[in-house]
Amino acid sequence: MEWVAALLFITVVLALLAGFPVAFTLGGTALIFAGAGVLLGAFNEALLLGLPNRIFGIMTNETLVAVPLFVFMGVTLERARIAEELLETLSLLFGRLPGGLGISVTIVGMLLAASTGIVGATVVTMGLLSLPTMLKRGYSPDIAAGTICASGTLGQIIPPSIILVMLGDVMTSAYQQAQLDMGIFSPKTVSVGDLFAGALLPGLLLVALYIVYLLITAAVSPSRMPAFDRDSDNKVTVLRVLKAITPPLMLIFAVLGSILAGLATPTEAAGVGGMGALLLAIARRELDLERLRDIMRTTLKISSMVFMILIGASVFSLVFRGYGGDEGVQTVLEALPGGVIGAVIVVMIVMFLLGFVLDFIEITFVVVPIVGPVLLAMGLDPVWLGVMIAINLQTSFLTPPFGFALFYLRGVAPPEVGTADIYRGVIPFVAIQVLALILLALFPELATWLPGKIYGD
């Protein structure tokens, strides 16, 4: 009945493209297919008895508790307006360089990624703050838009990232299932901390590639990224720079440092991050009761969306496997020419193409549980595969026509920046993402070296 599983997947994709809510599309479509299968005698209804346990497992999963805590941390920092001071200080610091303002935006994006991890908030914040300034100082609209979109998506790959938390939970289940399928009944585990450590160097590599591209563009075409002379009144002192970058750096060290040092689990570190963000907001006098209510509401909305999608995806996964979809995927991947290399290339291409039309959460909870166990059973390193998938999912934020970063920026961009400018601006950064994927495929140590040093695996 593998063809029914394929039909289920296609139906879900078409329903999502039609604009139906993600969580209800995943769960509802799967239940309709399961009901039809039960009536026709093609689906074992006993499998549905496992749904309550699956949902209970999701709601009691300690790792996933980190999701609302990291969301709370990110929303609080965004409301504390830390990005404003960072952008102003670094743009003055690098502004005299050709392309210096673009480099400033990229560095601020990196710091915000490591302290918030929320793409939408980062893109909107930098779009409101830096896009008018870049245009005023003579930057080409496409370069300015592309830089903001790309640097805003760094929160997907630079830890602590919400997508890495969700992907870590999915990869843990996939890795254990792969080992059980291989006859290993004392399976090893892969943790969110492993993925955080594995994603750090590839994330910094992406930042370096972005900056190199901006420097080359500024050298080849200085009129598109001109330098500017700051006023004598706007001097940048060491004290001013330290004042701007110390708060986010302290939070990064507290959260990421405690995880990598083994002092805290990701969930515990997320709690530290949430409290740290609150203290920063209070210290900057950016927090009152009304703003705290707004932070809590936003956190609740985002967290509810993520968990509803996860529950719907769990129902989909159960029905998909009930129709033998996992066995069909395994047969197809194992039959591909090139063995494991061919299978990885095909999966990465499929995820890249799905990123044009699907959200990263949908791909994480629907596609990864299907292909993950098969690829891991072929002997791939789970951390390397997880980081490859994370970079691929980050690209989905930039790929037209449905890249979410493009929509976020379009919503706050001034009228002189057209949709075509935004699309044109992100294309070089999408190419850089693909280059990063290729480099990671050629040099897996980029993802595996740091976890091995830290955890000794």
Q: Which residue has the higher pLDDT, 337 or 228?
A: 337
pLDDT at residue number 229: 64
Express each pLDDT in 196-207 by its tens digit: 999 999 999 999
Quick count: other Cβ atoms within 10 Å of Cβ 249?
14
Express each pLDDT in 274-314 by its tens digit: 898 899 888 888 888 898 999 899 889 888 888 888 888 88
Q: Does 45 score more than 70 pLDDT?
A: yes
Compute the distance between CA of residue 351 and CA of residue 199 in angstroms, rounded to an integer.
18
Compute the distance between CA of residue 8 and CA of residue 25 in angstroms, rounded to an integer.
11
Confidence of residue 242 (pLDDT cuts 50, 70, 90): confident
pLDDT at residue number 117: 63
Q: What percent of the chain has pLDDT over 70?
A: 95
Compute the distance between CA of residue 180 and CA of residue 242 in angstroms, rounded to an integer.
51
Per DSSP, 364 falls in state I
| Distance (Å) of CA 210 to CA 102, 146, 204 | 9, 10, 10
Determine which of 95-104, 174-183, 184-193, 280-289 has the lowest per-residue pLDDT on average: 184-193
Determine the average pLDDT of the residues in 134-141: 87
Compute the distance between CA of residue 317 and CA of residue 441 in angstroms, rounded to an integer.
28
Compute the distance between CA of residue 78 and CA of residue 124 in angstroms, rounded to an integer.
10
Phi and psi at residue 368, in whole multiples of 5°?
-60, -45
Express each pLDDT in 439-453 by its tens digit: 999 999 999 999 888
Q: What percent of the chain has pLDDT over 90?
A: 18
What is the pLDDT of the chain when averaged over all its residues?
Answer: 84
Conformation bin of residue 253: beta by default, left when phi > 0, alpha when psi is -120 to 50:
alpha
- Name the range with the highest mean pLDDT among 234-243, 253-262, 342-351, 409-418: 342-351
This prediction has a pTM of 0.83
Confidence of residue 427 (pLDDT cuts 50, 70, 90): very high
pLDDT at residue number 210: 95
| Distance (Å) of CA 346 to CA 67, 334, 342, 343, 374 | 30, 11, 6, 5, 13
Express each pLDDT in 112-127 by its tens digit: 877 766 676 678 778 8
Q: Which residue has the higher pLDDT, 378 or 230?
A: 378
Determine the average pLDDT of the residues in 331-353: 86
Handedness of CA 21, 27, 28, 32 (dihedral sign): positive
pLDDT at residue number 442: 93
Instruction: Determine the residue type at 22.
Output: V
> Could you tell me the two tokens for 298?
């936003």
Query: What are the residue ranges spanned by the domains of the chain?
Result: 2-13+20-455
Compute the distance between CA of residue 273 and CA of residue 294 in angstroms, rounded to an integer.
18
pLDDT at residue number 395: 85
Contact 381, 444 (CB under 8 A): yes
> Could you tell me the two tokens for 330?
């395994």
Contact 199, 97 (CB under 8 A): no
pLDDT at residue number 445: 93
Residue reference for tokens 């790309």: 150
Contact 408, 127 (CB under 8 A): yes
Q: Does 26 score more than 70 pLDDT?
A: yes
Confidence of residue 233 (pLDDT cuts 50, 70, 90): low
Per DSSP, 230 falls in state P
